[in-house]
Amino acid sequence: MDFGVVLQTNPPAWRTVQLAKLSEAHGFDYVWTFDSHILWQEPYVIYSAILAETKRIVVGPMVTNPATRDWTVTASVFATLNEMYGNRTVCGIGRGDSAVRVTNGKPSTLKEVREATHVIRELGSGRAVDYKGSTLRFPWTTNTSLEVWIAAYGPLALKAAGEVGDGFILQLADVDITKWMIQTVRDAAANVGRDPDSLEFCIAAPMYVGDDWAHMREQCRWFGGMVGNHVADIVEKYGADGSVPQALTDYIKGREGYDYNEHGRAGNTHAEFVPDEIVDRFCLLGTVEDHVAKLKALQEVGVTQFAGYLQHDNKEETLRVYGESIIPQIREHVTAKA
């Protein structure tokens, strides 16, 4: 299992770079960031600084979308970073949430996500692609390679992830829901002749190491609110009795509006509807033993990467404990199974 960290690009930018360097020092493999150009600083500029200050960490957005950036520009950014620093980028993509909603836009269609995935991957990997009636290729690329991972919750988005994505991103860490969704993506891949084992399965959720459960829950309750935005869209489309796990839909019944100015922040007042049970199920909280046990359970249902959000008040200590006590145990567990 690989390990990632998910950061917000809050100013100062060098703070983000510092956390990325610290993540690499503690054994993490990936550094992801939010991609919401109004709410936070421009991530692609910061990626260049991160890559210059690190040796092996892979960077990418969790997640970008087809609406707010021209697809060819997105591909050019990744190809350029790969040319400069080696192939150390990955593109997470979804329909769009805060990046489009704060400008009164609408999330992209899944057709657009599928098409953007293809265009960005092909151009970002130095290959020619048809785009708006023209055949395009970056003439300056030499040895660039880019994977595009699709973030999804609903049935049709999961289908798209399996059929056209190089990986699947699920932003919650409930073991039962994860098992159902990974299997859905794997089935979709197999149904179109793809090898499901060739895909990456990334679970992203807040990670907080400690024993004060009340404090940890309040620091991470925002995450249930963020997930609730996506779940609300699914319930609107499919209904609460659709082909989505009931545990994913029940908790949003108390949801009333959402303020994106508090998006992804500890203490988000629009996440009060999220019960403790959902915080515990969706996040990784507790002692070292609690984290190791849940990570092993996630690994057993097919997770290939855990990416931990650090939007709380215990960033450095969480990274240290993961690097010294948690990541080694998980990697030893993998070795022992092999």
Q: Is the pLDDT of residue 235 over 70?
A: no
Q: What is the mean pLDDT of residues 201-230?
A: 91
The overall average pLDDT reported for the chain is 90
The candidate with the shortest Cα–Cα distance to 205, out of 110, 260, 301, 279, is 279
pLDDT at position 241, please?
Answer: 56
pLDDT value of residue 108: 80
Q: How far apart are CA 17 and CA 7, in angstroms?
A: 10
pLDDT of residue 243: 60
Which H, E and C letters describe the chain, residue by residue?
CEEEEEECCCCCHHHHHHHHHHHHHCCCCEEEECCCCCCCCCHHHHHHHHHHHCCCCEEEECCECCCCCCHHHHHHHHHHHHHHHCCCECEEECCCCHHHHCCCCCCCCHHHHHHHHHHHHHHHCCCCEEECCEEECCCCCCCCCCCEEEECCCHHHHHHHHHHCCEEEECCCCHHHHHHHHHHHHHHHHHCCCCHHHCEEEEEEEEEECCCHHHHHHHHHHHHHHHHHHHHHHHHHHCCCCCCCHHHHHHHHHCCCCCHHHCCCCCCHHHCCCCHHHHHHHCEEECHHHHHHHHHHHHHCCCCEEEEECCCCCHHHHHHHHHHHHHHHHHHHHHHHC
Higher pLDDT, 65 or 236: 65
Average of per-residue pLDDT across 246-255: 66
For residue range 58-67, list pLDDT tens digits in order: 999 999 999 8
Q: Which residue has the higher pLDDT, 270 or 314?
A: 314
- Output the pLDDT for position 265: 56
Confidence class for position 239, pLDDT limits 50, 70, 90:
low
Residue 104 pLDDT level (bands cut at 50, 70, 90): confident
Q: Is the pLDDT of residue 27 over 70?
A: yes
Report whether pLDDT(154) > 90.
no
| Least confident range of 49-53, 84-88, 95-99, 256-260 | 256-260
How far from 334 is each of 171, 175, 328, CA to CA, in Å?
Answer: 23, 18, 10
If one compares 100 and 189, the residue with the highest pLDDT of the two is 189
Give the pLDDT score at 233. Answer: 64
For tokens 């956390």, the residue is 19
pLDDT score of 99 more than 80: no
pLDDT at 277 over 80: yes
Q: How many CA atoms lie within 13 A of 73 on its CB side?
A: 8
Q: Which pLDDT value is given to residue 254?
A: 61
For residue 103, name the pLDDT band (cuts at 50, 70, 90).
confident
Name which of 91-100, 171-180, 278-287 the model is least confident about. Answer: 91-100
